[in-house]
Structure 1
Amino acid sequence: MSFDDEPGHVGGDPGRGDDRFSTLGGTRQTRTRMPETTGDVYGGARRPQRTSRSLVMVVGVVVLLVAAIAFANRGGDGSATTPDTAKPGAAEPTAATGTKPVGGKQGGIASGFAHDEQGAQSAAVNYLVALGSDGMYSTSRRHEIVNTVYAPDIAAARQGDLDKVYSGKDFLTRIGLNADGTAPSGQTFISRFNPVGAKADKFDGNAASVSVWYSALFGLAGEGSKNPVSESWFTNTFQLKWTGGDWKITDFTQKDGPAPVGRDQAAAPAKDMTDAVEQFGGFTYAR
């Protein structure tokens, strides 16, 4: 796959050039104008209140869903399969498997993943989080991330092109950042990928293909923001190889969705969104 075809870069599909997520921080956004706004950058508009009957139905569904999840994850009957024996691509529980978690970190990113299917999934999830973070907009941090998650022979080829994309003045202006990649005064830049699940599509000892389904938060929180934080859903498929005693990325592709139906909830005020992102840290290990 050429660099222009890789998610995270402009120059590929002309119809996606401004997609802020297919470029790991591009600019596409869909706005829906809601009535009765309160002046908050997130709109603050509330939809009509549910009837009591509707609320009872929703609560009932949620309770049943929670009960079903608890029952499915209860385990202990010895019937669950581990990542080493399960068929690639099959859904697997996230309960403890007995495999030792990662033993360290490199460049602030988890490293030392197990040399098995579970380890490949863990690597893909953690690398996705790093590539979707706001650190990609800082030159020094971006170099650190790329050199950590990509295979050595791939990282060198990616570095220069990534610098052109993430340091481009026009690109930064479109997403509301200053020329140095920082947020305007009084605003907080938010870029976070939140994995929902992962599956191994292929696994062959020293090579793996892992898909990660995730939601992405992207935008600026603060008064006067022209690019308020919004959520989108995507699936990235990573090609990984075992090299230097760890899993590393050699390539990846991205597609939209699957996206769930949004709930009837009012958008959070800018301060609440900023506080949430600052107070709730991301995960550094999965599976």
Structure 2
Amino acid sequence: MSLSDDGGYGGDGHRGSETGQTRTRLPDNDGDLYGSGRRPRAGMSSRNLVTIVGVVVLLLAAIAFANRGGSGNSETPSADSPKDAGHTQPTAPTGTKPTTGKTGGIASGFAKTEQGAQSAAANYAVALGSTDMFNGDKRHKIISSIMAPSAVSTFQHKLDQAYSPGLFKNVGLKADGSTPSGLTFVSRTIPIGTKVKAFGADQATVEVWCTGLLGMAGEGSTKPVSTSWFTITMKLAWADNDWKTLTHSQKDGPAPVSGDVPASGAKEIAGAVQGYGGFTYAR
């Protein structure tokens, strides 16, 4: 109910009531020292306490908000637009909820949005850079899971030719792709960020900036694990109610200047790769 519904401020009824209240307080000066004379003071004390507590709560809230705000920028970027000028897109999930489905161990069920396309591209980049790609059967499962049906056959043929005994030898594996005894084969792609280059009703082109680990960890390894920086471009199509890959290409960089952190030993690298799992990437 609004204030005007019960007389409002300045209404005749309100002034009449206020006059009556004034007359009931006049006896305070006539000797009612232990009745109405003390109750107003107790009431004022309670109101003062409530006011003080309220001020403290508001002050704490203001401090917390200021600490969250960082530089105090009041601009709020949209949740599903990588095109907002002047704002860095966070890598944590925002807007559309992350996917919870999996197909062949790979995240699936992405939203039909720009965020969903970026999430699909990032997770597919991880799968294409994993150690499973060096095993023929596992590679075929990955390709059938992430590629559009029309692209599976062509892409699989190209990759079967690329993953040759010569490539296996270059990374320290045996000719059949197996890992020598006592060593740990490392191949891992880690997306740093994603960017939508084009987006339509049923297609999207997404760039995924990545760093990667590749090599053999263990005593006596002649192919130590090293890092690389590259950008993957994926053209995606909406098929079977999910984003699937049509084409995939890769180029070097952008690469930062190497830091001054000393390289870890082979045993420490092997332990880290075996002990730290990967992520499901989502926007």
Considering the TM-score relative to the shorter chain, is it more than 0.5? yes
2:208 aligned partner: 212
How far the C-alpha of 1:279 sits from its partner, in A, is 0.8
Instruction: Provide the TM-score with structure 1 as the length reference.
Output: 0.70
Letter paired with 1:137: F
SS at 1:211's partner residue? strand
How far the C-alpha of 1:175 sits from its partner, in A, is 2.0
In 1, Cα distance between the equivalents of 2:105 and 2:271? 22
Q: Deviations over 1:15-39 (max 9, x none)?
A: xxxxxxxxxxxxxxxxxxxxxxxxx
2:137 paired with 1:109:
no
2:227 paired with 1:231:
yes
2:192 aligned partner: 196
Q: Which of 152, 156, 160 lines up with 1:155 in the alignment?
A: 152
Pick the structure with more helix per residue: 2
SS at 1:130's partner residue? helix
1:135 aligned partner: 132
More contact order relative to length (CA 8 Å, sep ≥ 6): 1
- How many aligned positions are there? 217
Instruction: Provide the TM-score with structure 2 as the length reference.
Output: 0.71
Letter paired with 2:247: D
SS at 1:200's partner residue? strand
Letter paired with 1:215: T
2:89 paired with 1:92:
yes
Letter paired with 2:135: S
Q: Deviations over 1:102-147 (max 9, x none)?
A: 1310010000000000000000000000000000011111011011
Letter paired with 2:147: Y
Letter paired with 2:265: P
How far the C-alpha of 1:86 sits from its partner, in A, is 4.0
The 1:171–1:75 alpha-carbon spacing in structure 2 relative to 1, beyond 3 Å, is farther
2:44 aligned partner: none
Q: Deviations over 1:130-165 (max 9, x none)?
A: 000000011111011011111111011222332232
> 8 Å contact 1:81–1:92 — kept in the other structure?
no
Backbone CA RMSD of aligned residues = 2.5
1:222 aligned partner: 218
Q: Which runs of 5+ in 2 are unaligned?
A: 1-66
> 8 Å contact 2:104–2:141 — kept in the other structure?
yes
The 1:101–1:169 alpha-carbon spacing in structure 2 relative to 1, beyond 3 Å, is same
The 1:136–1:96 alpha-carbon spacing in structure 2 relative to 1, beyond 3 Å, is closer
1:262 aligned partner: 258
How far the C-alpha of 1:96 sits from its partner, in A, is 4.4
2:145 paired with 1:119:
no
Identity of matched residues, %: 49
User: Between Structure 1 and Structure 2, whose CA radius of gyration is higher?
Assistant: 2
